[in-house]
Chain A
Amino acid sequence: MAFYFGLLQTIGIHTLLGLSAYILLLTGQLSLAQVGFFAIGAYVSGILTVIFEYHIVPGLFLGALVGGLFAFLVGFPALRVKGLMLVVATIAFSEIVRLFFFNLNWRVSVNGVEVGPDSTQGFREIRFYAANGWDTLDVVLFVWLFVVIVMALLWWLDRVRVGATLRAVGADELAAQSSGVNIVAVKVSAMTGGGIIAGLAGGLYAHSATYVDHLTFSVLLATFAVAYPILGGLSSVFGTLIAVIFVQGVLIEGMRFLGDWRNILFGLLIIIAMNVRPAGLIDGKVVLRIREALGTGKKSGGEGHAETR
């Protein structure tokens, strides 16, 4: 049972990471910086709960805020360039963050025990859950509480003007700009929102894993973060969730019996998925069909975008 609880935590955290990339992809920006904000959130909230002995809720909150702050600061120079230049710029940002934490050494003595990030050795003593007697089920519920809140918030945003504005910038920047949308403000807001979500996910990850080091926050994790929304499709927040369940639950955990071949199959399945469903597993048509089936299939106008992606 502990195994499934662990898997549920991983799925929840990766869903948040995927959603942080999703909000940026809506504006047409592919960012590999999410893992940088994730790392910042992980280290900041870990340092707050371990060294400064905060409760986890303010720790997570501040980690998310610092993640958002960095996203805001990175957003301005990074969003001057677009498309493929942004991909490279954001990889560079994530790698700078990773190398910063790789070199960070901040050992202090708390209650007689030396704790804190120890550069190459990683940051080992993030034991808030164990120290406060939370069992695994509590942790799962805690993680999923945030997942539900963030998903509900993004789902709601997509139904109001904000969502339409984000998608308008993603569909055609020039057209959006000529209809009076301030595209810099929209992009930087999306970047900041993504940074906050990624920082939150990082804080949750650090406390679930009890141990973080720079190797976790690699370019590989950055590609996973954007892979979830692209594989799942940008038409609905549920696409990201389904992609995470598919990748983490089915491909990574469900196929362990294949051993070595699992990893080979993984790359192959991504290629096949993108050839068969270039707009993601859940594209605009699927969303329409589900709405019709649920009896809420009114024409909402904003669905045509999915097919052009």
Chain B
Amino acid sequence: MGIDFVDIAQAIIDGLLFGSTYALIGLGFTLIFGAMHKLNLAYAASAIAGAYVGLAMITLTGLPSVLAFFLGPIASGVIGFAVYVTCFRYIPTTNMLAPLMASIGALFFIDEIVIHATAGSPLSFPAVMEDIYLEFGDFGFRGDLIFVLAISLIAMAVLMYILFRTRLGLATRAVSQQPIAAELCGIAGHRTNAITFVVTGALGGLAGCMAAAAVGVISPLLTVPITVKGLIVTVIGGLGSIPGAIIAGFAVGGFENLFLLLFGVNQRDIYVFLLLFVFLVFRPGGVFDTAIERD
């Protein structure tokens, strides 16, 4: 089978569209890291759990399936708040290992609750705009992936607005730059961090719904791969860099699909990880190399 230019371009296009979910997950990791200088490994688990809650709501009440994309993020926001309170709020801030470990505990806990509730079997997730297929010359654009891209672009725009145009965003950025100085200026540090967790949780829930809609099924088995891909996006984008995470998300999505075409499903991830190592060795600060050296 020959692989010609059109196949490669088509694979990259599909990957870029799906990469928007990676971008959202990477954004969540990077925002929490920016705010607290800590890693929340339960993040992808809460995203998937939120998507499950959204799915359960529309299945149980018979609401239109688009509503899953609103209910899922709300549920994930609540879970994000719970993760903050249980894993970060009451552990001393100088302790780096304990909250990381606690968030791994939360990852197990959330995953197991989902497995318990669904008896471990994957459920099918409703796709939106599935029957639309746009064609431009040799290239096609899957309607459900376009929907995913559109939603994530809107989410990113809203996030940017909150971060850079509202008092809440100002407080978040202040706490992330100088927590003590921010506290002295009258900003409630814990409250700001909690809000960051809720906002990023909602973002994750949206990403979880979109990943599930694009794949077609939702399963707790998605959690670990999404966590790993999200972390890769965070590192390639540069820890704490918001535009970096967005660019890296699309890039990882595109490269992943390209590697899938070139090397097959068994070896795809090897090349994604090698890409990560290339960045770690040559650009450890990420694509935009922001000046976060206070780790």
Contacts and interface: CB of A to CB of B under 8 A. Distances in A.
Interface stretch (B49-57, B186-194, B204-212, B232-240): B232-240
Interface string A7-30: 000000000000000000100001
A278 B98 contact: yes
Nearest to B233: A88
B106 interface: yes
B198 to A, nearest CB: 19
16 contacts: A85-B295, A87-B231, A88-B235, A89-B276, A227-B104, A268-B105, A268-B109, A274-B91, A274-B99, A274-B102, A274-B105, A275-B86, A278-B95, A279-B95, A308-B94, A308-B95
Given A230-B100, A279-B95, 7 more contacts: A84-B33, A88-B234, A91-B231, A92-B232, A263-B116, A271-B109, A309-B95
Interface of A: 25, 30, 77-78, 80-85, 87-89, 91-93, 95-96, 99-100, 102-103, 120, 218-220, 223, 226-227, 230-231, 260-261, 263-264, 266-271, 273-275, 278-279, 308-309
Interface string B105-145: 11111111101100000000000000000000000000000
Main secondary structure of the interface of A (DSSP, over half): helix
B276 A274 contact: no
A274 B87 contact: yes
B228 A91 contact: yes
Contacts of B104: 223, 227, 270
A145 B22 CA distance: 47
Contacts of B280: 77-78, 80-81, 85, 89
Q: Which 4 A-B pairs have the closest CB atoms?
A: A270-B105, A267-B109, A267-B108, A278-B98
A80 B284 contact: yes
Contacts of A266: 105, 108-109, 112
A77 B281 CA distance: 6
B223 to A, nearest CB: 10
Given A263-B112, A270-B108, A275-B91, A92 B98 contact: no
A275 B84 CA distance: 12
B182 interface: no
Given A95-B228, A100-B270, A275-B86, A231 B101 contact: yes
A99 B266 contact: yes
Q: Which of A85, A99, A264 has the most CB of B within 10 A?
A: A85
Interface string B230-257: 0110110001000000000000000000
B97 A309 contact: yes
B273 interface: yes
Contacts of B100: 30, 87, 230
B97 A82 contact: no
Nearest to B116: A260
Contact of A96 (B33, B96, B231, B273): B273
B55 to A, nearest CB: 20
B277 to A, nearest CB: 7
B3 interface: no
B5 interface: no
Contact of A271 (B105, B232, B239): B105
Interface in B155-200: none
A30 B104 CA distance: 14
B251 to A, nearest CB: 16
A89 B281 CA distance: 10
B218 to A, nearest CB: 19
A40 to B, nearest CB: 15
B284 A85 contact: yes
A64 to B, nearest CB: 25
Contacts of B267: 99, 103
A109 to B, nearest CB: 25
B98 to A, nearest CB: 4
B138 to A, nearest CB: 33
B235 A85 contact: yes
Contacts of B284: 80-81, 85
Nearest to A260: B116
Contacts of B270: 96, 99-100
A82 B232 contact: no
A275 B116 contact: no
A267 B107 contact: yes
A269 B276 CA distance: 34
A270 B102 contact: yes
